[in-house]
Structure 1
Amino acid sequence: MDTSLTNVDSVNAVIKIEVKKADYQPKVDEAIKSFRKKANIPGFRPGTVPTSMVKKMYGKSIMAEEINKLVGESLYSYIQENKINVLGEPLPNIEQQQPIDFAAETDYDFYFDIALAPEIKMSLTKKDKINYYKIAVDEEMVDKQIASYKANFGKYETVEEGAKATDLIKGDVVELENGQPKEDGIKVENAVLMASYMKNEEEQTKFVGVEKGAVIVFNPGKAYDGNETEIASFLHIDKDKVEAIAPEFQFTVNEITRYREADLDQELFDKVFGPNTVTTEPDFRARVKETISSQLAPDSDYKFLLDVRQLLEKKAGNLEFPDAFLKRWLLTSNTEKIG
């Protein structure tokens, strides 16, 4: 079996594989023998089917499979052994490849198009320098990160003072009718709301400054701007019942909790960086600065890689690519995946 390469141009070539009968016949005979042992043909026990019958019924397909396998192995071995730098995968040559008649049992020629990677010639010297930009971390960035840590590691605490718009207020809700609890009306124990979440400023103001034990009369429909999902969730009812609710509800405050940010102390230091890793505020700020710097390092690396690529592209100059082949290869590959 002979394999040869013919250059079409600097980025395209054709590989020709000449397969002689002597190359494939032993493999075909062995494959037929193996198939005969397993063949399940009516009227014959396994292993007793005549070889001539196996050849007649399956010889052509067996030979095609063995030749294709032999050609594929030869093609990729030739590319690897000759260290040919190809793009994509070899494709059958449309112009030179003749129809293959495996029934002829003769010598066969196979032609494949390959795309050659363009030869890149460039020289780099000590004069070729690229700056690596390290992003500076200023005190404002450190302050913002510390503020984020304090917020993340804070906790809710019960307060006795007047509620703020951002406090969580827990209480009992009762539907009213003519200023009195409605008979068989809606009642919700330990309902929770946050005034700042309300859409209506007038209703929101009713809850700002209230203390435990306060009784507020408000309109949920107005407070949540008629949003059926939010109203149903707050009153623990189905959405289709929202339209029928009364315009006034009574809310009795049972508890007010407020989210308090973590203090800038050893407890916070330990939660962020581990026990006793840092013990002073200056050391904590320094570690925060290091953390931000490490998080920004990938951006610096990316910028550096872009600059390196730009320099190398400039050094390489205009490169020729086998556009027609690559388009055909991509189209073939996508068609096979879809199929």
Structure 2
Amino acid sequence: MATVTRENVGLLTDRLTVQITKDDYYPAFDKALKNYAKKANVPGFRPGMVPLGHVKKMFGNSVFTEEVLRSVEKEINGYLDKERPEIFAQPLPTDDNAATVGKLDMNQPADYSFSFEIGLKPAYTVANPADATIKRRKVKVTDEMVEEEVSRLQNRYGNMQEPETVNNDQCVLNVTFTEVDADGNAVEGGAAKDNSLLVSYFAEAVRPQLNGLKVGDSITVTLDEAFEAKEKEWIVGDLGLNEVADAGSKKFKITITKIGFVEKRDLNEEFFNQLFPGKAIATEAEFKQAVKEDIEAYWTNQARSQVHDEIYHYLIDNTNIELPVDFLKRWLQSGGEKPKTAEEVEAEFPSFTNSLKWTLISDKLTVDNQLQVNPEELREFAKRQMMGYMGVTTLDESTAWLDSYVDRMMSDRKYIDQMYNQLMTDKLFTWAESQVTKFNDEEVSAEEFAKHQHHHAH
């Protein structure tokens, strides 16, 4: 009868040794061999009529090995199901097992011993968010930011015109760049690329040359003449000339293929209601106030993400968790689909252990604080997400299709898992933020805020 014994062999690392006797695997081997004989397709024999001795000679040892290993796997899984040790990953076969497999012989069935190592989860106490001091930045929304956003919205929702000639610095030109020589002839193998540019991207000295041009007209200039340094840098990159030191002195024929002009939307009630339906905005001042509130909501959300990032670092840095390092490195090296070198494992290990620590911390906080996501929350989240994608702001008879669409999304296991993780992460950080009692509040500009902005995949 098979037995499984367990002994400690290192920090949070135990060895499970499976002892199996002939009685544990031989009946299964005998049965598997007979089944094989019934199904085997061997030249010279009718299906199902291959002599057992012939099958045993041809396939016996591989079937024998398979049944011995199947028996070992069954014992290991049975032990883990019964004893339920808190372990990382799957049991890792020891190097001794390969030698045992090499000795398996169906003609000399014997008792066999196989061993595996398991990495044990440690006992630990999660740092208390109430002890943290968290930096909380608030972006000051200026009148200039509001004016910029209003202008952007006027352009975004503006009416695209196609004037016959270039007549404004805000005209959008579709152009073709063709590299030419001193005589204006196309350079064989030279750079050539289509692009889309505002007239205002060109250097001020060149803009008068563009005024009045029609589709099909062109100008011939060097990149140094045509663009200021900032614009020239990305034009050079777009043309694939990054490696060419004298790219700016190259001459190009720039041919206009289309002229567009976005006519800015007027600031009127129709526009206000399109952007903020149901708010009954009647004046420009009310519209700008609504835009300001939108900008503030955006930065409040960004600030919340930053607070959550600081909480993440606090919990990771202040929760002491001992890990079975040697076991985990061996598991990383050989436990995946593709074996890794020791050097690859060392390089990956710091981020791997951080991720592992966070999994342990978040799992414990979720259980201890009974944080849950129910099916209705998942459904509501899916609906809001779809409304965002489709640009839908209110639900009425015309959006009845949304329910059937959400039904389809809710049957996608991968999508459900992704949504669940997203909602649970948000719940966890909302809870942790509610525990923090010490915030260092600081008002900053959008530029200063951006310097501190970095996110972790919690």
TM exceeds 0.5? yes
The answer to whether the aligner puts 1:307 opposite 2:310 as a matched pair is: yes
Partner of 1:48: 49
* Partner Cα distance (1:288, 1:63) in 2: 74
Deviations 1:1-43 (A, max 9, x none): 2122211233111111112222212221221121111111233
Instruction: Work out the CA distance in 1 between the residues paired with 2:39 and 2:259.
Output: 81
CA distance in 2, matches of 1:53, 1:297: 76
Aligned mates of 1:320, 1:207 — CA distance in 2: 69
| CA distance 1:302–1:157, shift in 2 (3 Å) | closer
Out of 22-31 and 319-328, give the one that drifted further: 319-328
Q: Displacement of 1:65 after TM fit?
A: 1.1
Higher normalized helix content (fraction of residues)? 2
Given the superposition, is the C-alpha separation of residues 81 and 207 from structure 1 closer, same or farther in structure 2, using an over 3 Å criterion? Answer: same
Which residue is equivalent to 1:179?
none
2:153 paired with 1:153? no
> Do 2:139 and 2:299's aligned partners in 1 also have CA atoms closer than 8 Å?
no
Whether 1:220 aligns to 2:224 is no
State the match for 1:70 in structure 2: 71
1:139-190 per-residue CA deviation (whole Å, 9 max, x = no partner) reads 44444332321121122457899933333699xxxxxxxxxxxxxxxxxxxx
> Are 2:348 and 1:327 equivalent residues in the alignment?
no
Distance verdict in 2 for CA 1:313–1:206, change over 3 Å: closer
Aligned-partner Cα distance in 2 for 1:122–1:45: 67
Q: State the Cα deviation string for residues 75-131 of structure 1 (Å, max 9, x = none).
A: 234334323222233222236875232213111111011222222134749x54665
Distance, in Å, in 1 between the alignment partners of 2:97 and 2:259 is 85
Matches of residues 289-304 of structure 1 in structure 2 within 5 Å?
289-296=292-299, 299-304=302-307
**2:255 matched to which residue of 1?**
234
The 1:57–1:331 alpha-carbon spacing in structure 2 relative to 1, beyond 3 Å, is same
The one-letter code matched in structure 2 to 1:304 is V
User: What is the match of residue 184 of structure 1?
Assistant: none
RMSD, aligned α-carbons: 4.1
Other-structure match for 1:118: 122
1:66-145 equivalent positions in 2, closer than 5 A = 66-94=67-95, 98-100=99-101, 101-103=103-105, 104-122=108-126, 124=128, 128=131, 133=136, 135-136=138-139, 138-140=141-143, 141-145=145-149
Gaps of 5+ in 2: 175-195, 227-247, 341-458
Q: TM-score, normalised by structure 1?
A: 0.67
Matched residues, number? 288
Counterpart of 2:62, as a letter, is S
Q: Deviations over 1:280-316 (max 9, x none)?
A: 3455445434544554455344333333334434553
Closer, same or farther: CA 294–88 of 1 in aligned 2, 3 Å: farther
Percent sequence identity over aligned pairs: 25
Aligned equivalents of 1:23, 1:132: Cα separation in 2: 63
CA distance in 2, matches of 1:293, 1:87: 44
Q: Structure 1: where are the runs of 5+ without partners?
A: 171-191, 237-254
- TM-score relative to the length of structure 2: 0.52
Whether 2:343 is the aligned partner of 1:336: answer no
Is the Cα–Cα contact under 8 Å of residues 14 and 111 in structure 1 kept in the other structure? Answer: yes
Structure with bigger gyration radius:
1
CA distance in 2, matches of 1:40, 1:59: 15
- Alpha-carbon separation, structure 1, partners of 2:24 and 2:164: 95
